[in-house]
Amino acid sequence: MSLVIDELMLECKRKGIKITQKDLAEAAGIGQTAIHKIVRGDTQAPKPQILVAIADRFTEALSRKITVDDLIAKDDSPRATLATPRNPLKISNWTHLDEAEPVTDEDFVAVPVLGDIPCGDLDQVGQGDIVGYQHVYKDKVGRGRFFLRARGDSMAPLILDGDLLLIEPGPQWNNRTVVAVYMDGHVTCKRLYLYDHSAALVSANPNYSPIVVTEEMIILGRVIKIERNLVEGWQP
């Protein structure tokens, strides 16, 4: 089940109404960790009485009737479940490396890394100087794409500090796309929420408040790939 609680919280913020996850947790009689999981969608089927309590809290805050149906995303669809295998799972080492097609340097292209992008509060943007290159399989890279290195934790756990983000410039972004944006001399990486007459930049980390867009904003591009080293210090 996909919920739109975060959108209702943004609506409250735009109207100057202070409502936090702590408020929702107290209204529903559950802990903040539990309400955080519900807002993020980690809880597949919250108890009906919890959803009713959350809806009633928004009804009180917004002075209009909010029902449980209003909390559920309109494009919500059942999620696929993993089938139980008929036979016990067998795990073994792959021993057919000699049959693998070799990959050469000609199969890769060097994509420029144009510096850091804050995943936190708005910060000063660099001048776009190339600070390095990341080699990517050429079939996965289009013209004009570039990397930015994430700094900060506002997009955790989706994006971690040090991740390389492949940015695709152009108008391909839409509502809820993760984008790199430039606004008033600052740059940041956030999820973009679009409304009829406004927009907001929302962090994945609930410790950061949404940024309501009140001035001109330039979208540098959408994030289409995350490069992350699981072994510290490893270099390709």
Taking the domains of the chain in order of start, what are their residue ranges? 5-71, 105-227
Architecture of domain 105-227 in this structure: Ribbon (2.10)
**Residue 32 CB-density burial (10 A; 0-12 exposed, 13-18 middle, 19+ buried):** middle
Q: Find the angle CA(105)-CA(109)-CA(113) to the nearest 5 degrees.
A: 130
Among 234, 232, 190, residue whose Cα is nearest residue 211: 190
Q: What's the confidence (pLDDT) of residue 125?
A: 43
The 10s digit of each residue's pLDDT in 63-115 is: 888 887 777 765 444 333 333 344 444 444 444 444 445 555 566 777 778 77
The 10s digit of each residue's pLDDT in 173-203 is: 888 899 988 877 778 899 988 877 778 888 8
Q: CATH homologous superfamily of domain 5-71?
A: lambda repressor-like DNA-binding domains (1.10.260.40)
